[in-house]
């Protein structure tokens, strides 16, 4: 086998390993497992006995071995160096460029921990692991033989480092969502506790739950501005929109006597004003109108119907008007001659789009589940534009 054929085979093996690792990283929620797998795969593909992933610690300005492959006990979890040019990995981190050291024995400017000599490390290659803002750290391979590395090796390791960076960003978003859910759970538990204390419902329940929801909303939008990933931003924006809808319920209740029912017509009018203001920031010319009459229903039904309005209106804003112009009309009224049934309609005059109302895309799966929760029904008509009609029971909702 000549050198060119060996190089091609090596590149194919590295490309397959990178693709396989990318698939693994997307499925794995445990960041440490992702980092450990990255270290092992890199070591195998580069034919070296050791590799490690080092995490930058800004308060200490150093690099900590977060995960690795081939090392004796005691290496992983310890600091490897300062985050400066006094070490190969520190040089890569501080300059942002790959660092290749073919023979550590001949380079006296580096300050290295004792485990390098203990493991007989001679050659190293370091590439930076990017992050939102400052880098996450570095990916390093270590060889106990003197080796020469080329641009193909750097490209391979850089590709791995980029996948690791995305896994780190995904882990951060997951941690945020978990903390958000924990705050929401605390808010719900607090609400349930306060419901048993009738003397503090009106003064405390509404304010504290509303404030918790606004806190969650702020956390989500801060992360939204820090997130560059398109799918991540779409998911965070959808959650934030739903949390804002829940907060709107409590804004509507503030100042009124706490009861188990409220005027859904007045609430949806206020909600549409807020939704129109939020969507107006997109710079388009899409109007949102609301026509409603007084319908007293249970607070849980108000929340569910408010989320339905939010999802359908947002769906029309996002998908119904490629040209950025049109009108979305929301209406709430009782069925004529049937005071026990209400009708909510959301109509847009866009060109229309084909979608399965039973599916999960564009938040429509949530709409279907909420309608089922209410004991209602939903129909959709796509000609012309799109018209959603939700029928819901008034008596059972207020019972």
Burial category of 231 from C-beta neighbours within 10 Å (exposed 0-12, middle 13-18, buried 19 and up): exposed
Tell me if 3-166 shares its fold with 261-399: no
List helix spans (H) across 256-339: 264-279, 299-319
Its CATH class, for the domain covering 3-166, is alpha beta
Element (H, E) at 296: strand 296-298
Residue 333 bridge partners (DSSP): 343
Q: What is the pLDDT of residues 80-133, one digit of tens each?
A: 889 999 899 999 999 999 999 988 888 778 888 889 999 999 999 999 998 777
Residue 357 has pLDDT above 60, yes or no: no
114: tokens are 């004792």
Higher pLDDT, 281 or 344: 344
DSSP string, 141-205: EEESS-----HHHHHHHHHHHHHHHHHHHHHHHHHHHHHHHHHHHHHHHHHHHHHT-GGGIIIII
Tell me which residue of 368, 345, 342, 343 sits closest to 355, measured CA to CA: 368
Q: What is the pLDDT of residues 258-314, one digit of tens each?
A: 556 778 888 888 888 877 766 664 456 888 899 999 888 887 788 889 889 988 988
The fold adopted by the segment(s) 261-399 is Heat Shock Protein 90 (3.30.565)
Q: What is the pLDDT of residues 175-208, one digit of tens each?
A: 778 888 788 888 888 877 766 655 555 555 555 5
* Most confident of the following: 139-143, 225-229, 380-384: 139-143
Model pTM score: 0.47
Q: What is the pLDDT of residues 43-77, one digit of tens each?
A: 988 889 999 999 999 999 999 999 999 999 999 99
**What pLDDT was estimated at residue 194?**
64
Residue 159's alpha-carbon distances to 3, 30, 164, 165, in angstroms, are: 23, 20, 9, 10
**What pLDDT was estimated at residue 365?**
81
12-30 as b/e, with b when 16 or more CB fall inside 10 Å? eebeebbeebbebbeeeee
* Domain edges within the chain: 3-166, 261-399
End-to-end CA distance of the chain: 81
240: confidence class by pLDDT, cuts 50, 70, 90: low
Distance CA(323)–CA(374), nearest Å, equals: 35
> Would you tell me how many other CB atoms lie within 10 Å of the CB of residue 78?
11
């Amino acid at each position: 086998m000549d050198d060119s054929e060996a190089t091609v085979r090596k590149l194919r093996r590295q490309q397959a390993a990178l693709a396989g690792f990318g698939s693994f990283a997307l499925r794995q929620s445990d960041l440490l497992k992702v980092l450990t797998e990255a270290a092992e795969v890199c070591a195998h593909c580069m034919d070296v006995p050791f590799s490690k992933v080092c995490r930058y610690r800004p308060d200490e300005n150093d690099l900590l071995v977060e995960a690795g492959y081939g090392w004796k006990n005691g290496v992983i979890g310890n600091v490897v160096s300062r985050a400066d040019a006094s070490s190969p990995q520190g040089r890569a981190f501080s300059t942002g460029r790959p660092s290749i050291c073919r023979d550590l024995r001949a380079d006296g400017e580096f300050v290295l921990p004792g485990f390098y000599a203990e493991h007989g490390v001679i050659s190293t290659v370091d590439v930076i692991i990017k992050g939102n803002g400052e880098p996450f750290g570095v990916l390093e391979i270590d060889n106990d033989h003197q080796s020469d590395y080329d641009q193909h090796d750097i490209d391979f390791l850089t590709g791995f480092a980029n996948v690791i960076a995305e896994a780190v960003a995904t882990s951060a978003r997951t941690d945020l969502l978990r903390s958000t859910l924990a705050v929401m759970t605390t808010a719900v538990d607090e609400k349930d506790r306060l419901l048993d204390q009738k003397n503090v419902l009106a003064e405390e329940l509404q304010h504290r739950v509303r404030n918790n929801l606004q806190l969650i909303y702020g956390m989500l939008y801060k992360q939204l501005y820090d997130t560059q990933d398109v799918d991540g931003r779409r998911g965070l924006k959808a959650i934030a929109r739903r949390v804002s809808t829940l907060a709107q319920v409590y804004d509507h209740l503030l100042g009124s006597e706490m009861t188990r029912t409220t005027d859904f017509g007045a609430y949806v009018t206020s909600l549409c004003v807020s939704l129109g203001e939020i969507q107006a920031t997109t710079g388009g010319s899409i109007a949102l109108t609301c026509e409603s009459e007084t319908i007293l229903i249970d607070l849980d039904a108000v929340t569910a119907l408010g989320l339905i309005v939010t999802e359908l209106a947002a769906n029309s804003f996002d998908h119904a008007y490629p040209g950025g112009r049109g009108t979305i009309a929301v209406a709430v009224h009782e069925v004529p001659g049937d005071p026990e049934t209400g009708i909510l309609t959301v109509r847009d005059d866009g060109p229309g789009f084909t979608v399965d109302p039973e599916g999960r895309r564009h938040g429509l799966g949530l709409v279907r589940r909420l309608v089922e929760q209410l004991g209602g029904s939903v129909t959709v008509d796509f000609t012309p534009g799109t018209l959603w009609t939700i029928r819901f029971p008034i008596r059972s909702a207020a019972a």
